[in-house]
Amino acid sequence: MPRISRLNRSEVSADLTDIYDRYLRNRGNVPYFFRTVAHRPEIFKTLIAHMEAVLSSGTLSTKLKELVVVRTSQLNRTAYCLASHTAISLRLGWTPEHLEGLSTWRNSTLFSEAEKEAIHLAEVMTLSSHDYTDQDMARLRGFYSEGEVIELMAAIGLFNYFNRFNNLLQMEPTKPATAEELSEAGVVTIGA
């Protein structure tokens, strides 16, 4: 039983149904986290806009951002975010070996030096942000511009927020939408 109820598409205002419908079309579900935050429409709308800006704008690839999202979620032991963002990362081209190898990245040949610096940033920012040294920043800046550092930090910071929210709510991974939910959103399913 959820700690806070999740709003279905029929329970939200028209401006939120557009967001629900977009996620039903693009992902096949509306994440439970989003359905929970929808209790406060302004927070919901700005959260979606911020997440989409963080993950889909800038010069860094969404693929790299998803890698640091997965590492952040691993460190925070957030099954909810790991389920979703592992699947997204695999679709973007990371392999199961990459994602399983994140905990031993320092000695791994799976990651480039630039990727290793991004993973290191995710670890320190998540576990002990006061301990990121000037030398760490200099190494990171050897691979990424100032704007790109902001992109990485925004992805890591955003998912530390999401992870803590979902951990506190004991959120279980989102299940696929029902045929009825998809139909309400105008999504045509095969065999329907």
Q: Using one digit for the tens of pLDDT, what is the confidence trace for 70-96?
A: 999 999 999 999 999 999 999 999 999
Tallying the residues shown for the chain, one arrives at 192
Question: What kind of fold does domain 60-168 have according to CATH?
Answer: AhpD-like (1.20.1290)
The model's confidence at residue 190, banded by pLDDT at 50, 70 and 90, is low
Domain range annotation of the chain: 60-168
- How many whole angstroms from its chain centre is CA 93? 16
Place 185 in a pLDDT band, splitting at 50, 70 and 90: confident
Check: pTM over 0.85? Answer yes or no: yes
Q: Residues 110-140: pLDDT tens digits?
A: 999 999 999 999 999 999 999 999 999 999 9
Which secondary-structure segment (H or E) carries 43? helix 41-56
